[in-house]
Structure 1
């Protein structure tokens, strides 16, 4: 999947993904300029683009039983926050696959500054076309990324093929809400770079069809609605400090995205889910 999908959507239309190097300014403001060494804890408040940060990543570690012997693939790694956390907590080897060049490059730099580059291998590529071979991983994980990828049946089957027998999958993802059909699909697609958003039932069924056994499936919609509403309120309250570091342009871009997410959750246009599954 190129950064511009076949339907004309561009990942950079999603304003959360503006200025991938903004995290470096956040770190500098905290006293970590340039190439200063970092810890995973230093990064945690900035490098987790999903909901509930490292708490969610720890839930994935616990559900899948990730340990030091594991080979893990993160699909849609962004800056690589979850990959670094998994590696630091478990000693597992993690491939952090990211489509966007700027997030990939920045994430690679952050991993080096944490001294975790022997555990985390950043790769830039399209999940639909990159080749790893059959049964290459013990675990595949992804946070708020799979719905960006077109051809759900194809990529779900590919995930299953990449796993060793008994391997497991942990996903947190957006899905179509109960009022999805009442929403302007073109606008939502552009705002969220949504290329394969489906209902909860369809999502679970697509995993089973691909060959997975469901370990756990949890509807996260109410939780994420509350989380995103609180996030927007806190972002607005921190307006001056944010602009002081990043300027007004990024503030407006970030606020646009945060407010759109709240709008879509409030209208039940979108929902959220957490799924753990196993390849027999």
Structure 2
């Protein structure tokens, strides 16, 4: 089984849209009047959630004229948020077909069906033409990609000259090997963290100029603490990542926090320009 097949198996679930809409209804949401924020607790599948997406959007200087590609778009939360906020056109690409189907259903439900679209495909062979986008971004995706040189070369190919590439990923920290399972992998077979110096070399080797680099580990630890306090106060949310990853998610979440606290992972935002 290839790495991409293993990754698809890790994330693959059936009838996700129905599960999510059912959970929203149980939470008291009016399904005929949904807004992107109603989905924030499940469709921002990365540390610091909506907050990190908003920061990335500001760093990429999005506006109504920008055409944007989200590589590894998942359930489409970041693309819907940014399209709603900046009125930009966003294409989402994801390896998992069920995620693309679900993202399309949710986009229609929140009135963004004409602004965002989702394609199933590999980040190593992006099924889109050269220089078609003003901006490209990816969040918590490269950890599942072993051939990062090819990945960043593909990003550079579809980005226009002068365009910006933003990534928010987990890097290898100095604290030692990752404790598994984690939300992106159940074992090391599908986990490929790059060290900071390695990522710099990969991006430069793909022709990018790095114009921003920010380790957000402290912010991540504070976010998890706030999340823990909210769950202790209000109980676990009806709509949460357990719908995506099943009963193992509790252990995955504990390991994610431990890995962050022990500096085994470094959540990092990087902004690059294609000359």
Which TM class, normalised by the smaller chain length?
0.7 to 0.9
Aligned equivalents of 2:171 and 2:120: distance in 1?
A: 25
How do 1:1-280 and structure 2 match up within 5 A?
A: 5-6=2-3, 9-13=6-10, 20-21=16-17, 22-32=19-29, 36-180=32-176, 182-183=177-178, 190-191=186-187, 194-232=190-228, 234-235=230-231, 239=235, 242=238, 252-280=247-275
Structure 1: 5+ residue runs without aligned partners?
A: none
Post-superposition shift, 1:272? Answer: 1.4
Aligned equivalents of 1:26 and 1:55: distance in 2?
A: 23
- Distance of aligned partners of 1:150 and 1:43 in 2 relative to their CA distance in 1, 3 Å threshold: same
Post-superposition shift, 1:53? Answer: 2.8
Structure 2: 5+ residue runs without aligned partners?
A: none
Aligned equivalents of 2:242 and 2:174: distance in 1?
A: 37
What CA deviation, in whole Å up to 9, does each residue of 1:11-47 have, x standing for no partner?
44469x79844432331123336x5232123223332
* Length-normalised TM-score, structure 1: 0.84
The 10-residue stretch of structure 1 (21-30 or 155-164) with the greater mean CA deviation from structure 2:
21-30
Post-superposition shift, 1:171? Answer: 0.8
Aligned equivalents of 2:36 and 2:83: distance in 1?
A: 10
What CA deviation, in whole Å up to 9, does each residue of 1:38-73 have, x standing for no partner?
212322333211233333222222212111111100
What number of residue pairs does the alignment pair up? 273
* Length-normalised TM-score, structure 2: 0.85
The 10-residue stretch of structure 1 (267-276 or 75-84) with the greater mean CA deviation from structure 2:
267-276
Q: CA RMSD in A?
A: 3.2
